[in-house]
Amino acid sequence: MVRALDRRFPVVLFTNSMVMGGLEEHVLQLSTGLIERGFRVGVICSTYDGIRPLREALAKSGAIVHALPHRRSLVGAIPRTATFVDILRRYRGGVLHLHFTGYKGGDLATAAAPIAGIRAVVRSVHLPPVPPITGRDRIAIRLRDRQLARVICVSEQTRREHVTALGRDPRRCTVVHNGVDLRRFSPDIEAIDVRAEFGLDRDAPIVGTVSRLGEERKGMRYFIEAAAIVAARVPAARFLIVGEGDLRPALEQQAASLGIGAKVIFAGQRADVPALLTAMRVFASPTLYEACQYNLLEAMASALPVVTTPAGVAPEAVEDGVSGSLVPLADPSAMAESVVALLRDPDRARELGSRARAVVASRFSVDSMVDSISEIYRDAVGQTDVIVASELPEVERQSA
């Protein structure tokens, strides 16, 4: 657990999120975990209605929530910076932790931090850098990173891409995986009667996924293509898609055009995801690029056998054939082949699911995530040189 020294300084989390997703879940988990460890936590976020659940949950957990409207004009930059200074002064001597999906943004809050007496600024990046990336972008990143004590990447793949694509200092970038609440996501959670709710046969095996249906990068059209192949080979199979977004009509049309419209269930946005997961026989993730996808780790924590592309954290969490199945990107045939194999071999599916649960319990828990980030905070406020000895080459480490 966190040492007493860590409790002497406050922490401010900042995100400009507009919709609920993995990043927002991360901020809530981190805030709650820090408060449980004795930190005073403030959270700066937007007034968008889409993240109302985040603001309400943060307040309920004991965080002090500062909701600010977005202002993108240059005219509003000075008063907005002044607002940041005013808020951050309430946390003098503490850490400001920025959370963004992209590599841009956060400049005003970062500029306000030293004026307000913040001792260190840390930034988490929740997605790989998305092209196009210009030379000007790389220069801006290097200048911005000079103001940061540490850049936290949520997977090794994301860290590697930020270093190679953006030219970030590898010694300043560190990996802390997202964490899963093992009490909330568990094979012991009582499953809701999905079959009764959606009119399915009692013995119908359910292949499912959880995804926001608003981005092509989630690869959901490949899930539908794979479902059509699986349905031809395992006619009793049904396919459950949990999530909502602007692409849903197109995905529904795709399923209908492939002749599986009646076999694909679009459940929409649900609050009972843990229970829905336990009703699935196999979990499939067709995503094309990620950082550290919660849906995969949550399915693994629920002891589900997973079939996933090697995006984001998947190569670190899933050992092919041992704790799940890895299939190529954008390859619905390969995904379908692995799904069919698991549906036809329930004993092997249970074995992979059990190992998946063990992997998450040992390496991807919320407690592990919060403790690791707390240590980063401690190093940031306690050292002028933010590059710690454990990250130096062996020869330098011995002399450090």
The Cβ of residue 198 has, within 10 Å, a number of other Cβ atoms equal to 13
In this predicted model, what pLDDT tens digit does every residue of 207-230 receive, in sequence order?
Answer: 999 999 999 999 999 999 999 999
The pLDDT-based confidence of 73 (bands split at 50, 70, 90) is low
How confident is the model at residue 331, as a pLDDT? 98
In Å, how far from its chain's centre is CA 376?
Answer: 19
Distance CA 249, CA 213 (A): 10
In this predicted model, what pLDDT tens digit does every residue of 232-253 receive, in sequence order?
Answer: 999 999 999 999 999 999 999 9
How confident is the model at residue 101, as a pLDDT? 86
Q: How confident is the model over 79-101, as a mean pLDDT?
A: 95
Give every CB contact of residue 61 below 8 A, 6+ residues apart in sequence: 28, 31, 32, 35
The pLDDT-based confidence of 192 (bands split at 50, 70, 90) is confident
In the chain the domains, ranked by start, together with CATH numbers, are 4-179+366-399 (3.40.50.2000), 194-363 (3.40.50.2000)
**Where in 290-385 does DSSP place strands (E)?**
306-308, 325-326
Distance CA 169, CA 371 (A): 24
* Residue 350 scores a pLDDT above 90: yes
**pTM, entire model:** 0.87
* Residue 351 scores a pLDDT above 60: yes
Q: What are phi and psi of 236, to 5 degrees?
A: -75, -15
Count each helix (H run) and each strand (E run) in the chain, helices first: 16, 13
Distance CA 34, CA 107 (A): 25
Higher pLDDT, 399 or 346: 346
Give yes or no for a contact between 266 and 241, defined as CB atoms under 8 angstroms apart: yes
Q: At what angle do helices 366-382 and 22-36 cross, to 10 degrees?
A: 70
* Residue 397 scores a pLDDT above 70: no
Place of tokens 């990620």: 290
Distance CA 386, CA 93 (A): 16
> 268-303: buried (b, 16+ CB within 10 Å) or exposed (e) per residue?
eeeeebbbbbbbbbbbbbbbebbbbbbbbbbbbbbb
**Beta-sheet pairing, 41-46 with 238-242:** unpaired
* Residue 393 scores a pLDDT above 50: no
In this predicted model, what pLDDT tens digit does every residue of 12-43 receive, in sequence order?
Answer: 999 988 888 889 999 999 999 999 999 999 99
**Where in the chain does DSSP place strands (E)?**
11-15, 41-46, 64-68, 95-100, 120-125, 150-153, 173-175, 206-210, 238-242, 264-268, 282-285, 306-308, 325-326
* Residue 158 scores a pLDDT above 80: yes
How confident is the model at residue 395, as a pLDDT? 33
How confident is the model at residue 74, as a pLDDT? 56
**What percent of the chain has pLDDT above 70?**
92
The Cβ of residue 193 has, within 10 Å, a number of other Cβ atoms equal to 12
Instruction: Provide the H-helix boundaries in 37-168.
Output: 52-61, 77-88, 107-116, 135-145, 156-166
The pLDDT-based confidence of 72 (bands split at 50, 70, 90) is low
Higher pLDDT, 187 or 7: 187
